[in-house]
Amino acid sequence: MGGKYSKLDPMDIVVPDIKNLLDRDSYLKPYEKEIRRRYGCLKDQIDMIEENGGGLDNFTKAYKYYGMNVQPDNSIICREWAPGAKQIYLTGDFNGWNRESHPYKKLDYGKWELILPPKPDGSCMVPHLSEVKVVIENHHGHKLDKLSPYATYVVEPPKDQGTIYKQKMWNPPQSERYLFKHPKTPRPKSLRIYECHVGIATSELKVGDYDNFTDNILPRIVKQGYNAIQLMAIMEHAYYASFGYQVTSFYAASSRYGNPEQLKRLVDRAHELGLVVLLDLVHSHASKNVMDGLNEFDGTDSGFFHAGSRGVHSLWDSRLFNYQEYEVLRFLLSNIRWYLEEYQFDGFRFDGVTSMLYHSRGIGQGFSGSYDDYYNMNVDTDGVVYLMLANHVIHTLHKDAITIAEDVSGMPGTCRPLQEGGIGFDYRLAMAIPDKWIELLKHKSDENWDIGNIVHTLSNRRWMEPNVAYAESHDQALVGDKTIAFWLMDKEMYTHMSTMSPPSAIVDRGISLHKLIRFITHGLGGEAYLNFIGNEFGHPEWLDFPREGNQSSYHYARRQWNLVDDDLLKYKYLNNWDAAMNHAEQKYGWLHSAPGYVSWKHESDKVIAFERGNCLFVFNFHPTQSFPDYTLGIEFGGEFRIVLCSDDEQFGGHKRVDTSIPIFTKPEEYACRRNRLQVYIPSRTALLLAKV
């Protein structure tokens, strides 16, 4: 069935209505002219596309024009954009690797075309799964073998044939093509994201595949109460250890996990299970690979990228797109549509947005909170406009689509609609939150945690610009850092995670704090929640992909599901808590409620209380002090029950709280709230109270 798409028309708004944006934040008023200028640049781009690109709808279907497209009569039309090339040829299995027998014809504006008629028997001249290469002859007369930027299937070569990926013709017979059976998942009110990687989603010492993920991992995710998955490292990357962030083939879903039809089955099954499927989209930069990447495709230093130093990211050692270039816009916007329509993804997490927004790429730049940081000559207007245009394309094609910005700078309006003068994202990642937790775990014992600072970090976000809160993501799991579980328990995880082993104060503390850290992040930190695969049960150790430095080992590039499935191990307690948090959110809906109102943050008691989603969240971070009848304020009165308690036995707690006892409020003002109640809060315990 798949999704239904709107026709992609130009924007029908000439001038944005930014009054709401300015009324919400009066500090933006001095920058009104700049906000309107950016929007004007967006309109200019769209007008240019309408006038010269055949309209935005046609402009974003470049994959039907470029690359190798099989026609109904089995002829193949091959086109490429290579403005710096002297001549282009197609070679491969089909012509015995003759590098000059099939030249392209030069068209206007750097385009090249080759038409391959069908064979006499009516079949394609280039068979399914046969290898091809585009030969670029540069102006020095050198012939360079390349992969088409629009290649849809590329594979790793056998070990005895080098490391350069090979482009294969993907044109299976109709009987082998996967047909979508289920509609896209409607956008949920609350977004609970499971960030995952197909390759590491196996306990075996190998690269996991799409089928394993579909059959074995998706049911786990649903059971845990997540309603969205964010798939990482899907766009093809020749270097596995890059975690998918050095993309070489943008239109090719990674073949190391299987073929395109298997990925389609994965997405369709996720939709059947009610999951939203997001793609980790890397449009901020590209791999510097020349032989199997975009770099120097036409034989020059520019093409898809800025020439010279502006086209190189000094920290990532990768190439930076020229978002002003007409064909680059066509390539990237069509890439978005490709994944929305061909694979039925529901939205995107945009990687490296900070790099796209600023000429400095965010390198060495501390964003102080001054609005001048967001409206000066360091802002890359081309990058800003591209992101606005990308969000317009996505949300027009699929009204329920979701876009998330990975931006550390906090640019105002990033998560406001284009019609308000914003950039158009639905969410931004709350990147300060995991940094705060790691900072505390690395440098301070929990009896010295600053309660006020924790609350500030969790609640400090732009009004009405939704955030995705998370305690840790893949960034914290990578080798060189540690997961929260490992920071808390480290070597004790090897000896004291059995329910049969002697009690361990370190493990007891670790499990208790792990639950509190995740729950307060879930409840207070944003309008969506994210967890990285395996962290729901405190996956031990770090994540390290096979590489030369670890003797190509897969030991750390997998998820040890056996740990959580073993009833004799304590990992089950963290896993149970994770599911309980998500299922409680599904019932009470705090993520799509107004931000939490913090009524209590007591430094010496280490107690935090806040209201959200008609619930009262209570946290006691004190390492030793329990409070029998702790008084808290609450706005609404009545009878309450403890619906979630981290001290319950099923969560590895000490069973100190009787959750069956009702709690009644008194109509007496306390902590600036209209009612008060008393509750028993054991040390290192979190409670969720809901009205009966």
SS3 158: coil
Question: Which H, E and C letters describe 84-101, residue by residue?
Answer: CCCEEEEEEHHHCCCCCC
**Using alpha carbons only, how large is the chain's radius of gyration in Å?**
27
Long-range contacts of 445-454 (CB under 8 A, 24+ apart): 446/509, 446/513, 446/621, 446/623, 447/606, 447/622, 447/623, 449/606, 449/621, 450/603, 451/601, 451/602, 451/603, 451/606, 451/607, 451/608, 451/621, 452/601, 452/603, 454/520, 454/608
For 57-96, b/e burial (b = at least 16 CB within 10 A) is bebbbbbebbbbebeeebebbbbbbbebbbbbbbbbebbe
Q: Which of 209, 325, 351, 578 is the catalytic position?
A: 351
DSSP state for residue 212 in the 8-state scheme: H
Pairing verdict, β 228-232 and 191-197: parallel
Q: Which of 406, 420, 472, 648 is the catalytic position?
A: 406
Give dist(CA 478, CA 438) in Å, integer.
13
Q: Among this protein's residues, is 351 annotated catalytic?
A: yes
Give dist(CA 305, CA 300) in Å, integer.
10
Alpha carbon 221 to its chain's center: 16
SS3 389: helix
Q: Which two tokens stand for residue 280?
A: 């980790």
Nearest to 311 by CA among 341, 291, 288: 288
Q: Among this protein's residues, is 406 annotated catalytic?
A: yes
Give dist(CA 115, CA 670) in Å, integer.
79
Nearest to 691 by CA among 631, 609, 611: 611
Q: Which amino acid is at 608?
A: I
Q: Which two tokens stand for residue 387?
A: 């992101």
- Is the CB of residue 56 less than 8 Å from the CB of residue 8? yes
Residues belonging to the active site: 351, 406
